[in-house]
Structure formats: C-alpha cells, structure tokens
Amino acid sequence: MRSRRTVICVCALATLTFGAAHPPSATAGPARYIYEACDSALPGGGVPAGTKFVVDPGVAMAGGDSCASPGGSLSITETGQVNSTYSYWSVPIEADPGGYVESLTISGASCNLGPGNDHVFVYEQGWPGSCAETQRIFQVNSAPTPYFAGAGFSIFMNCDGNYGPGCGAGPLVWAHYFAATEVDPTPPTLSDVGGTLLAGGVIRGHQGLAAEASDEGGGLSKVAILVNGLPAGQPDVSNCDLVEIKHPSLAGTVAAAVTPCPTSLKPSWTLDTTAYPFQQGVNSVQVCASDFSTLSEPNTTCSAPAVIDVDNSCTESAVTGGQVLSARFARSHREAVTVPYGRPAKVSGELTDAAGDAISGATICVETQTLGTRHRLRPIATATTDAHGHFVYAVHPGPNRRVLLGYRHDSFQVARSVLYYAHARPTLRITPSEVGQGDRVRISGRVPRPRAAGRVVVLQASALRSSRWYTFHRATTNRHGVFHSRYRFDATTRSVVYRIRAVVPRQHGYPWEVGHSKPALVTVRAGR
C-alpha cells in the first residue's frame, strides 16, 4: 500500500544497514539516496519516463508492463513461432541534476529459453540465467561525468534463425525493482537570512526569522535553526515524494522521483528567546539547509553565525498595554540620590498607556547593577501597579547602584533607571586607648564590600574639641578589605585626647561615596 512520508528516513539495499538521520553537519560528504522504479508500492507502478518497448514488426513477441500490480514487472514473452528476430525494453534511469547514478540494483528472471534464444538478458549479457528471481547490483559511475550520468539499460530477447526451425512460444524474461543509488555532491544554497531576531540591539521575547533556500540535486529535506550550536524551534521539513517499501531486494524508504523534495523553500519562524537553547547575553544564530539523503549524511549549508544579545531579565507582565513609565526617588523627586551608610531610599513611579490612562495590576521588574563593576543588571524583585498605575519600591541599603525599573510584555519593554549612592563607613579600632609620649598605637579596621581589596584608607586626627582634621597616615586594605597600621606619638608635650577617624575617599572601581568611620578616642599622656 502506498505511503507518503514527510520525514527523513534511511533506506538501503538488502545488504545495507538502516539508521536514523543525523543532525546537520557542515562536514558531510555527498548525499546518497535510493530512487526506485517498477514497484507496485510506487504511484502508478513508477515506470521511468521515456521507457519504451521495441519489437520487430509482425513477430510473435509481446512486451508486458505490470509494474503497477503487486509483484509486477517489465517483461518480454515469445507468444508464437518466430525466426531470427528480437525485441527489447529501453529503460532510462535518470541522475539527479548535478549528480550521478552510482549503482543500480535490479531483480529479474528468464525462463523456458530455447537454443535460439542466445541473447536474452537484463542490463548485460549472461544475467539472469534462471527462472528463480535473483538480484544483481551493477556499478555505474564512481564520479561525476560530463556525459551520461544516469543508468539506462535494456531488457532484451532474441531468436537466432541459425538454430533449426527458429524459436517457439514460451520463452520469458522479466525484471522489476529498479533501485538506483543517486549521488548528489552539490550542497544547498541560502539567501535572505533575516528578521527581527537579527535586527540588532537587545532582543527580547518572541522574534521572527526567515530565509530562502534552494537545491538542485535531490531537493531540500529541511531548513533548521541552530542557536548556540543547538536546534531551536521546529525545523521546516519538506513534504518529499517518499514511499515505504519492502520486498526481497529492498526494505526502507525510497524516493519515488529522481528529485523527490522541493528545490526551494522560504521558511519563517517565530522564536521565543526566553526558551532553551537561548540564554541571557550573547547568543549565536545560524540557519542551516540540508538536502535529501538516506544513505549518508546530507549536504548541509549553514549561514555565518550571527551574534545577538538577548536580555529577558525583566520579569514579564501578564497585563498588556503599558507604554509610558516614570520612576523617581520619592522625597527628592529626582533620578539620583545620595544617602548615609545603611539607609534605604524609596522609589515611586507610574505606568500608563499611550493615551495616559493608568495600567493597573501590571508587574514592574526591579533590577540592580553595582556601579564600578562589569556585571549585568540582576533581577532582584518586582512591584505591582495599583488601580491608579502607581507603584513603590524601597531600595535596600548597600553600595552605589544603578536601579532599573521596567515593564515588559513579550518583546516590548520600557524602563527607567535611577542612581542610588551611599557613603562608605569603615570600622575602626585603636589599641591601646591610652599611651604615653613616644608610645605606639595599633590601628585596624575594615572597609565595606564589595570590591574592598586594595583600597586606600586615610587616617586623620583632631583635637577633642577642634573641627579641623589632619591626615597623619595612609593605609591599604588587604584582600579581605582589612587595613592595619601603627603610629607613634612622639611630639606631644602635654596630655591630650585625640579623636582618630578612618576616611575612605572615592576610588575608581569602588562602589561607595567618600565616607568615614566613627571617631575613636586616644589619650596621650605627657611623660612616661
């Protein structure tokens, strides 16, 4: 029973092993597949175009075409007494455009031959030689040829009049299941690869991609997408003219035409960039076109990798319609604020549509990026708009940060950034807290993280009731953000109480504003 397939299967001659098709590969060799003719499983029996029967006029030889019937064949029968004559079937097997027929398998038999039937054969003299059906593989071409690349052959019967009274009725020769191994060395071509996915800039949500592909051999089996080297979306699989067959010579999937698949495709896709194998950040995208092959890897042509930047970090809102977003710090109504160490700051905003109407119940994503680092924005929370489209978010205490507040639905995103600055506050410890003239004190402390290693700390001193501070030493933090120092009081002529503080100035790559520790008191006694 006839069966049309739209998937790529692997078929082989009876001596070959079947296997599943492999993913596209840029290193595949020539494509190979089986094109079969004269089999009742094929449409109309699959007699090749151009097949003809030739017979001497008036002689008792008949050609039969029963390929459309189960077990049918092309045959020649002597139907009566003949003398010195011949007849034959001429069967052309085409090569795919640009390729060649590598081998041809034929099943056939010959029966009841008399002495005068000395040239009865299929394809070449000497075969088949018995009434039992046998199979034969004929090697045709081993490389492309500028001449005839197909595999034309004859089914021939003669009667040589030199043998007595000629030939009587009954001799028969027949053949069927013509299975040609077609070789297609030419890969497909790709053009016009484009779409919103490749439009540049930051990509979000669902995006479109399209391409045009063509192939001159067996046609195109599929056009697929690779993202980061992995299949993405559903490939565009061709509706090829394929048939499942099973008989003593062959079992598997064969082509019912020399070019079984479409020679051109214009696929298009809508891809979800939030789904695997897409990833946040840089991705590579390729379109790959594969031709038809069942006995080897297909020829595959892939477009040059296109680099895209995907950012779906802003949590998507199920509520649609948002177009305009505002965000400012609540007390100052500004887009930047500087606060003391350890203090939060409240941000408020509003989401409306293009007409200015409030969008309620929408999700507002909150992302932060520590300033002075190369890290991308990181989602940390969400807020929800109220009935008036308003939302509030409290920025937690911490280092200098860029805070992004955004609204995203699928590929559309609108966002506003505000800047949160905070003063650093290092810790400070001085021991002992009371010394004599010429004695040393040990000074230690820690600066706030992150990026606290290798930071400069300025040590300052002031008299107890003075407002003036004097720098007396500098220290550098270790990899843990800890600093250590020593200082000798050798110029004090009277007992004095000093205030000591550690100051952290603004520094490149350090995400804190200038700040200082709480002062520590040191009493220096004159004399010992």
Using a 10 angstrom Cβ sphere, with 0-12 exposed, 13-18 middle and 19 or more buried, the burial of residue 366 is buried
Cis peptide bond prior to 450, omega within 30° of 0: yes
Mode of pairing for the β-strands spanning 412-422 and 336-339: parallel
Q: What pLDDT is attached to residue 488?
A: 92
Peptide bond into 185 cis (omega under 30): no
pTM of the model: 0.80
Type of residue found at 15: T
Residue 288 pLDDT: 97
Phi, psi of 294 (to 5 degrees): -125, -20
- pLDDT given at position 373: 87
pLDDT at 8: 34
Cross-strand pairs, 430: 443
Tens digit of each residue's pLDDT, the chain (528 residues):
334 333 333 333 332 222 233 333 344 679 999 999 999 999 999 999 999 999 987 788 999 999 999 999 999 999 998 888 899 999 999 999 999 999 999 999 999 998 899 999 999 999 998 999 999 999 999 888 888 899 999 999 999 878 777 888 999 999 999 999 999 999 999 999 999 999 999 999 999 999 999 999 999 999 999 999 999 999 999 999 999 999 988 999 999 999 999 999 999 999 999 999 999 999 999 999 999 999 999 999 999 999 999 999 999 999 999 999 999 999 999 999 999 999 999 999 999 999 999 999 999 999 999 998 888 899 999 999 999 999 999 999 999 999 999 999 999 999 999 999 999 999 999 999 999 988 999 999 999 999 999 999 999 999 988 899 999 999 999 999 999 999 998 877 788 999 999 999 999 999 999 999 999 999 999 865
**Which residue ranges form the domains of the chain, and what is each CATH number?**
31-184 (2.60.120), 187-238+262-310 (2.60.40), 324-422 (2.60.40.10), 429-525 (2.20.130.20)
List of E strands, 371-422: 378-384, 390-395, 401-409, 412-422
Q: Report the alpha-carbon distance of residue 259 to residue 239 in Å, rounded.
A: 12
Tokens describing residue 390: 């308003």
Map tokens 């696929």 to a residue: 267
Provide CB contacts within 8 A for 286, sequence distance 6+. 225, 226, 302, 303, 304, 305, 306
Q: For residue 380, give the nearest of 398, 353, 362 by alpha carbon.
A: 398
Contact between residue 179 and residue 251 where contact means Cβ atoms under 8 Å apart: no
Tokens 């990509």 label which residue? Answer: 203
- In the numeric block, the tokens 């991705």 are attached to 283
Pair 17, 252: CB distance under 8 Å? no
Closest to 310 in 3D by CA, of 335, 288, 284, 336: 284
